[in-house]
């Protein structure tokens, strides 16, 4: 008797999709802070894209977990999706995946709580997104069954390179200051 590979394929695809969405959200956040395109991108639009990508990443992560539970070739319980160490397959690397997903959820839930917890605390918590990215990378590389495929290795290397480049840009290049209104524009506004 053969097993249906549908959920196994879904688990692999959603895991890779979640990783790419985490990367894209991370890059959107870095673009928002460093403004490499000057004032051409509106911060509100980039913020909305950043948040949407985070929701999509969380959704893909949930699909990844549910597909693993439904897959008959592995034995994963719903409890194992939230308690690190309960998955028998590569337990260290899958535990990192569980912890990463939980940290990603915590960071996302902090968005509406920003005023309540304060901007300083929120920013400190937001720095943990580097941990989310690193954890997702380690989890995918070490527990993913497709890591040996050249295109998947390319996805990981490309993501690491893009995040590293955007981070270096943020550190090295100060964001542009908004243009000051010209004197004549100010005079016309006051007239």
Of 39-43, 89-93, 171-175, which one has max mean pLDDT? 89-93
pTM, whole model, 2 decimals?
0.86
Structure letter (DSSP) for residue 175: P
Distance in angstroms (rounded) separating the CA atoms of residues 191 and 177: 26
Q: Name which of 102, 94, 19 is nearest 53 in CA terms.
A: 19
Percent of the residues in the chain that have a pLDDT greater than 90, as a whole number:
69
Q: Name the token pair of 171.
A: 């550190």
pLDDT tens string 171-188: 888 766 666 655 665 555
């Amino acid at each position: 008797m053969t097993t249906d590979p549908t959920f196994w394929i879904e688990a692999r695809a959603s895991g890779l999709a979640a990783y790419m969405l985490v990367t894209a959200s991370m890059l959107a956040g870095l673009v928002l802070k460093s403004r490499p395109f000057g004032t051409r991108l509106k911060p509100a639009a980039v913020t909305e894209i950043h948040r949407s990508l985070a929701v999509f990443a969380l959704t893909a992560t949930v699909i990844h977990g549910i597909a693993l539970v439904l897959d008959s070739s592995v034995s994963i319980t719903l409890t194992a999706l939230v308690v690190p160490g309960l998955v028998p397959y590569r337990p260290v690397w899958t535990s990192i995946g569980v912890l990463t997903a939980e940290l990603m959820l915590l960071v996302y839930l902090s968005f509406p709580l920003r005023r309540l917890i304060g901007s300083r605390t929120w920013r400190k918590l937001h720095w943990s997104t580097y941990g989310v990215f690193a954890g997702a990378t380690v989890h995918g590389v070490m527990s993913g069954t497709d890591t040996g495929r050249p295109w998947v290795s390319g996805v990981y290397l490309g993501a690491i390179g893009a995040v590293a480049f955007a981070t270096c840009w943020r550190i090295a290049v100060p964001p542009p200051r908004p243009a000051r209104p010209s004197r004549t524009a100010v005079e016309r506004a006051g007239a």
